[in-house]
Structures are given as C-alpha cells and as structure tokens.
Structure 1
Amino acid sequence: MDTTVAYTPPWEVEKPRERPTWGLAEGDEIAPGRTVLRRIGGGRRYEALLVWDEHRLAVLVAKVLRPDQARSPVALHDLGREAELLERLAHPVVVRGFGSVVDGPFPHLVLEHLDGPTLDELLAQGGPLAIEQLLPLGLHVASALHYLANEGIVHLDVKPSNIVMGGPPRLIDLSVARELAEAAALRSPIGTDAFMAPEQCAPDGRLGPPADVFGLAATLYTGLTGARPFPPCEDRWPQLTTQAGPLPRRTPPALAEIVTAGLAPDPSARPSARDFAVALEPLVAALPRRMTLGRRG
C-alpha cells in the first residue's frame, strides 16, 4: 500500500519493481509555491516526495500520482476521496492532510511530514518492543480507531508500516479507507495480506470496524514477537485456516487476552476499539513512568 513513509517489511523484501516516475528533482515545482526537496519513497500508484510549501512556510509530504496513473479516473477519484476523508478528521493520532491538487500536471495529496521511524522499521532494527513501549502504542492507536469508527470510517490497513513512532504515535495512510456503507459493499480483497482480517480476504458484507481491531491486534502481536501472527505458507491468507501462535511469556495476561480476542476469526467475537482502550488503560497507568491517555478521577 502507498503510505506517507515508504518501507517494506523485512519478510516482504524482494527485487524492487521498476515503476513509472516523473523524475522530479530538487527545486522542481509540482504546483504553484510547492517545490520538491527530495524523493522519500513510493508505491504502486504514488511517488512520495518531501516538498516545501511556500504558502505554509513548511516542509510537507506530497503523494504524487505516477505518470501512468495521473489521468486515470479511478486513481483521481481515490486521491480525492482520501483528501476528503482527511479533511473530515481531527485526531492527535491520525495523520493530518492539507488538501489535494487533482487538475494540475502532477495530481497529488498533501500531508504533514512526520519525522520518525515506522514501527516496522523499529522492529527490523531492534526486534520486539519492550512492554513499556508497546502498551502506550496500543492505547493510542485504539483511541484513533475508536474515533474513526465513530466518524463512520474504516481504515482497512492497520499495520506496523502505517504507524509512525513518536509522542504520540501516528496512524497514517488512508488510501484504502472506506466509509462504513462502502466497506460493507466491498466484494474484493482489500488491505495488506499479512494484517487483513478474514472478512477482508473474502468480503461478504461484514466488513467494518472489527477489521481495524484485527489489524491492531495483529500489529501488537508483531510488536511483541517480532513476527507476524500468521506465518506465510502456501495459502495466501493463512488467517483463514490457522490460529495465531502463542504470545511470549513476558506478555501481561490482560494484554494477551485482549490481543487474542482481537484476532478472533469471527468479527462479532472481537472487542471494539473502545474495549481495547479500556483494557489497556490500567496497564499503561501502572507503568513506572506514566505515559497516559485516558480518564482521571
């Protein structure tokens, strides 16, 4: 999937595919008052560029449609939809959007620049997270998913490479996000294979907020173990036929319980994002240095 920070999980490293590029370099203008600083990544549909925005006097990220996508009605529609969703949202753990340009020579979406590694990068460099890091992370992301569900939006791509670490962490990339009615109407797989809920692999009308809870549980499992919950096999989606492996012994029982419940095959059996937050809140409050996100009283 395309993200504001492009990074390939270590288990998916392969020879990069050559994709069409604009070849934009430092100083090139993609819109009036918006110039390229450098390329920072990209995906199938987008090139991700660090840009200088003269209107805001700020460094931002531009997701620019690749040359073979720049006149595609589907790509332009999806670009506009992502911009509209971001315009509706205001949460401290969700990346901020600053509009889009769909009718210029370089159609693009503008996002805030987040200066930090993704969770995926941290795991690749240092292995599993300490519980003191993982618990606040889970609580923050659960709060973002609760907010999105209340706004009638499903992210559909919660995974380590879509979480930028910081204080607080940030959930990025709404390129496949859908409103609830749109999500329920999907009949084709959507998301990133290793972190997709079973109902994302074979949509049947039940696709909604529980899919994001599954993605959060799979992400926390990966943070705890350094491995994805469903090891790759001959099946494209092992989560359809197998159970996740055991969590490390160091895992607090309450955390193990909520992560395991979040990986339930049946979406109706999973806790809500709010349930996730309520379960994690006392664990975060009990940490030696309180990294808090919740009620007091």
Structure 2
Amino acid sequence: MDTTVADPLLGALLDGRYRVRSRVAKGGMATVYTALDERLERTVALKIIHPAHSRDPQFVDRFTDEAKTIARLTHPNVVAVYDQGNHQGLPYLVMEYVRGRTLREVLAERRRLQPQEALAIMEQMLAAIAAAHRAGLVHRDVKPENVLVAEAPGDTHNLIDGVVKVADFGLARAVEASADETGSHLMATVAYVAPELVTDGHADPRTDVYSAGIVLFEMLTGRVPYEADRPVEVAWQHVDRDVPFPSRYVPGLPTAVDDLVARATRRDPGARPTDAGALLAEVQACRDDIGVELATRSRPLAQPTVVVPRVESVPQTYQSQPQQRPSWARLPGGGPAQPPARRRRAPEPSGPGGKLNELMAQINANPRTRLTVIAAMLTVGLLVAIGGYWLGVGRYTDAPDLRQYNRDQIVEMARANGFKVQFAEPKFDASVPKDKVLVQDPGPGGRILDGGTITITLSLGPEVYKVPDIAGKEYDLALVDLQAMKLTGTRADKYDDAVPPGYVVDTEPKIGTQVNPGSAVKVFVSVGPNPVKVPLLIGKQLEAAKQELSKVHIQLGRVEEVESDKPKNEVVSQSIGDGNSVTDGMVMDVQISKGPAMVTVPRVIDMQLQDARKTLEDMGFKVDSQGFGTVRQQDPQPGTAVPPGTTIRLFAFF
C-alpha cells in the first residue's frame, strides 16, 4: 500500500514563473525547494516560510524589509537573493541554487577536517559575513547548516579549492523581532550562541565572530564545545565557561589554530576581533603560518634565488683593463692581463705515491714526530670507536611498557622515566576497551633516544552509535538523521490514532539503543487510524467473545472470573473499550461471570398452596402450581441448591 504523503507545493507554479520541482530541506522557520524559473530557464532555490510565522503581520513586514536589504548584498560568497513574493499567504524568497552540500553534511561524512581545509572554508565564510557587516547586517545564526560548500569539480574531497556560500542573512533577525514583540524567547542555535545573546539579547558583528569561532572549533574537532540534556544548559555554558582549545580533543593541532579559536570565542565581546573582516585577516595570517610550517616539515629548504648583474659587452680597446669586470664575469679571448711572474719551484714528486713517500720519510726522520703520529692515530681510532658506539647503541635505551595504564598514569610514568608522550588521534577497536592503549610506538622494550617521545594511540572502543530520536519526524527527514549516524532505515507502516500519516511512530531497535555502524533500523511510519474497531464483548459468552476477537486480529489475554448475577461465562467487562482503533499486537483482557449464587429450595409440602406460593416467590423463585388445597409434592425437592429465579413446580390436592 502506498502511504506517501504528497507535498501540495510540488509541481505548483508560483507567480506564474517559478515551477516547484522538489523539496531540499525543512527547518524550524522555512522549507527549501528547488524550482525552475521558466522565464529565465534557470534552476533556483525557493525558501518558503512556515504558516506559523506567516500569520504574524509584523514578521511578514520585517521579513520583506530584510529580503530587500539582503538582495542588495552582492558578494561571491553570499547566496544571492533574486526575488521575493507571497504564495497563498506564505512569504517566500527566490535565491541562488548552489549545487553542493551544507557544511553539516560534509561534517557528517568526514567527522572533522584538516586545519588547512577548515581555514580555507573559514576564509570564504568570513568574507561573506564581512560584506554583510559592512552593509550594516548581522547574521545572528552562523552555523554549519547555513554554510553551503560546492566542492571542486571532479574531486568531491577537495575542500580547499571549493566554493563556500553563506545563506539565511537576516532571517533569524526577522523571526527574533517578531518573537520579542510577542514576549517569546530569542531565536538562536544554542550550540553556537554568543554569551551576550543569552544574557541580554544584544547582537552586533562580534556576535557573528563568536559563532564563526564555534564553527571553526567543530570543523577541527568534529564536535561542539558544550553538550547537555537541555538546550538552556548548553546556552549558559557559553556564559560561564571558556571554549577549550581544539587540541584538547585532537592532539597535534598547531598552536596558532588554538590561539585563533580562543581569540574568536572570548566571552567578553570587547576582547574579540571587532567584526568578520578583522577575524578574516587573522585567519589568513594563521593559514599562511601553518602553510610555512608544513612546507618546512615536508621538504628541505631550497637555495635562495639571487640576481646576477647582466654582463654588457665592451669595446675591444677596454678588454685589456681587468678592473672593468669582476673576476667571475671576464670573457675568454679578450686578452686578460697576464699574472705576475713567479719564481719557479723545484718539481714536486708526481702522483700520490710520491707524496706519500715524502710524508713517510719526514715522519721516520724524527722519532718524536713518529711517536706523536702514532698517539694521534690511536686517539682518533678510540674516538671513532666511542662515537660509533654512541651513535649506534649508547645513546639509545629501552622504551617502558605503558599499555596497562590510563592516560594520566601514562604521562606520569613517561615523565618519571625521562620521556615525553604524544597522543595520536584515538581509533575505534572492537577488541580493546575504551581509553586503553591500542598502539605504543616504540613498543615496550623498543629502542628510543634518552628523553625521546613515545606516541600513544588510545582506543575508542567498539564503534557504536545511538539510534537517534526520530519519533514525530517526517520519514524522509528521519532517514537523513539515521544516515548522519551511519545507520540505514527500512520503512514499516503502522496504524496510529495520535500520529499523523507520514510521520515516525517508533523504531526497532528502540530510540537510544546502541548499535554498530551500518546497522538497519526499522522505522514504523504512521498511516493514520485503523479503520477496524474494537468490538463490544460485554453480554456475550466467552466462546462467542473469542470468535469476535479473532475476526479483528486481537489476542485474548487474561480471563478473570468474578462474582456476578449474570449467567456463568458471560463477559461482564473488557480492558479496551469498544470503538477504539485496532493496533498491531493488541491484547484484550476480559472478566467473566462465575454465575449467580445458589439458593436452597425450602420445604413447602403440607402448606396451603397460596402460602407455599408466597413463600417461594418472596425468595425469588418462580412458581408453577397445579391443583388446589394442600401442597403434597414439590420439584425440585426441599434442600436442593438451585440458581435464583429457578421455577418450582407444586402439586396440591385435599
């Protein structure tokens, strides 16, 4: 059975121009669609505001004004606004369609980025936000969902050369202004909210600088700095705590990156860069510093390039003057000056053998010289032997075994033995418990220089994820949440009276259950109330009630006998009221009558018929009499236990 709920906007033509094609995403304030601009024959993005906001005229006016302001904001890193309109009372924006993914989707796939990639994205983000700040706009909702990344063609993993665009300028401000006028809370995403927005609701360009710093932290570490069960607790952590260094979670990150995040996320707005342009300059400087550092690590220094003066040709008459050219620039064939005459020396012995013989003769001619040379040779030999031992063996020692200790103990043990410790990025491993040593390099007993560095890789334990809370979400959006947790979803229809059709009712395994990556989660999606209703069983015999339940696939549960004046085995109550919708696996408990209490038949023989009848009827019996006068026989016999209302037959005669 096809239970897909059709979106009424799909295929609709807005203002006779924009043909809606498909839905891209649905957020808290608006839904985004792709559409074809039939007039200019280009694909655009349509952001249509939710009905809850469209009913507020103050919001609509503010939204229209903000749209006009954003449309005048022209920058290559800003998602352009082409048009705005109203469809069936719902305001909408027509924007540039960016073929790519949100930064949130990139992080869901990559988890975290390398510093060069994160800084490259930040440069383009801040360039867009700086243009808005120069125009007097404050974004107020800088987060990965509002950053679009169009990766380099042909290389889906090249983020450095990708194009980054920022969207949703002014939308949060319009919603916030409407909320303030109705006494509601400030609209903000608590994971990225600046402290001053939490305490007094004030926002200026430095607010966007703080949020951008949190986005940089998340790109570097794969997580936001603060987490809690309730959003308000996360918001107040921004007020009460300093954002930690990214290297706390990813050892080995450059110090320049830690300092950059710290400056952007200072709790005091006056201590941050004044706007996105100032932070952009710091990001560019940091990126250059990291590039120089990486280049120095990865290859030897190149020889410097020097400028060599050009050697001009000179007339022949001046070539005899060597002072006109430096010695390295003299040309052949120009009649250079002859060197001054020198006294001729006696011919030297030819070849290396002759020189060696001459040297040996000089040494042997003087005994003291001979002893000095021998001592020098022995000393040199001894130094070479000691140096060879030191370089090959002596300067090394054995690495200690740190595998059985926790992180803090490892640092203490290494320090006590005179070594340094470096923690590599932890890895998942099903066989090694979490926070235990997965790899030690060098290993226990391995060769290491005195005072050298031991690299430790800790285990993250088995790679597991919790089934996300997707109850109440539309099925297609629930699948996005599952894919972000590296899980797959399979749909199963389920009747439900309370949940609208197309929305998630439950999951199997249950929400919050830990599962391995790639696990399949059965998603139960509501198809509305079940047209089959619970039957009325009260007044029916138990066997008849069983047949009624089997017809509607309800299982009979507990059967309890109770005191009742109803006939034995007659249903007197049921646990689920009739008329309710039948659900899968429904179980019905019932109570049945034990039957009425038995009454003992009295003796009325030898009594006058009229007196006997009255006696029996007063006890609740029915009387069937024959004859007149004195009762001579009765049926049932006196002393018999019978149900109330039983008919007693009397026979009377004189």
Name the TM tier (shorter chain): 0.7 to 0.9
Q: For 1:172, give the aligned amino acid.
A: A
Q: Secondary structure at the match of 1:165?
A: strand
Aligned pairs (5 A) from 1:183-222: 188-203=185-200, 206-222=202-218
Q: How does 1:28-39 map to 2 (within 5 A)?
A: 28-39=12-23
Q: Which residue of 1 aligns with 2:507?
A: none
Q: Is the 8 A contact 2:15 2:87 kept in 1?
A: no
TM-score computed with the length of structure 1 as normaliser: 0.80
In terms of mean alpha carbon deviation, does 59-68 or 159-168 score higher?
A: 59-68
Report what 1:228 is aligned to. Answer: 224
The answer to whether the 8 A contact 1:40-1:50 is kept is yes
Q: Counterpart of 1:252 in structure 2: which amino acid? A: P
State the distance in 2 between where 1:275 and 1:281 align. 10
Distance 2:77 2:216 in 1: 16
In 2, Cα distance between equivalents of 1:115 and 1:280 = 26
1:245 is aligned to 244
Question: For residues 99-129 of structure 1, what are the alpha-carbon distances to aligned partners after superposition, in whole Å with 9 as ceiling and x for unaligned?
Answer: 2013755531111111111111111111110
Identical residues among aligned pairs (%):
24
Q: Which amino acid aligns with 2:244?
A: G
Q: Give the conservation status (yes or no) of the 8 Å contact 2:245–2:262.
A: no
Write the distance in 1 (CA, Å) between the matches of 2:42 and 2:131. 28
| 1:23 aligned onto 2:19 | no
Distance 1:78-1:46 versus aligned 2 partners, 3 A rule: farther
Alignment correspondent of 2:433: none
1:236 shift after superposition: 4.1
1:170 and 2:173 aligned: no
| C-alpha distance 236-247 of structure 1, shift in aligned 2 (>3 A) | closer
Query: What per-residue deviation string (whole Å, max 9, x for no partner) do you get for residues 209-263 of structure 1?
Result: 0000001000000000000022225514121222223312332222221211111
One-letter code aligned to 1:282:
A
Q: CA offset at residue 58 of structure 1?
A: 0.7
Change (3 A) 1:246 1:259: closer
Q: Do 1:155 and 1:176's aligned partners in 2 also have CA atoms closer than 8 Å?
A: yes
Q: Which moved more, 1:108-117 or 1:273-282?
A: 273-282
Shift of 1:49: 1.2
TM-score, normalised relative to structure 2? 0.38
Which position in structure 2 is the counterpart of 1:278? 281
2:104 matched residue in structure 1: 120
- More divergent stretch after superposition (133-142 vs 79-88): 79-88
Task: Give yes or no for the alignment of 1:139 onto 2:123.
Answer: yes
1:172 Cα shift?
Answer: 0.9
**1:50 Cα deviation from its structure 2 partner:** 0.8
Equivalents in 2 of 1:285, 1:104: separation in Å? 52
Deviation at 1:145, TM superposition (A): 2.2
- What's the counterpart of residue 92 of structure 2? 108
Whole-Å Cα distance in 2 between the matches of residues 177 and 141 of structure 1?
19
1:155 corresponds to: 139
Greater CA radius of gyration, 1 or 2?
Answer: 2
**Secondary structure at 2:33's aligned position in 1?**
strand
Larger RCO (CA under 8 A, 6+ residues apart): 1
User: C-alpha offsets along residues 255-288 of structure 1, whole Å, 9 cap, x if unaligned?
Assistant: 2212111111111111132332222213434649
Give the whole-Å Cα distance in 1 for the aligned partners of 2:227 and 2:95.
33
Task: Sort the Cα spacing of 1:284 and 1:258 in 2 relative to 1 into closer, same or farther, 3 A.
Answer: closer
Q: Secondary structure at the match of 2:211?
A: helix
Letter in 2 for 1:168: V
Report which of the two has the higher share of strand. 2
Gaps of 5+ in 2: 1-5, 151-161, 295-654
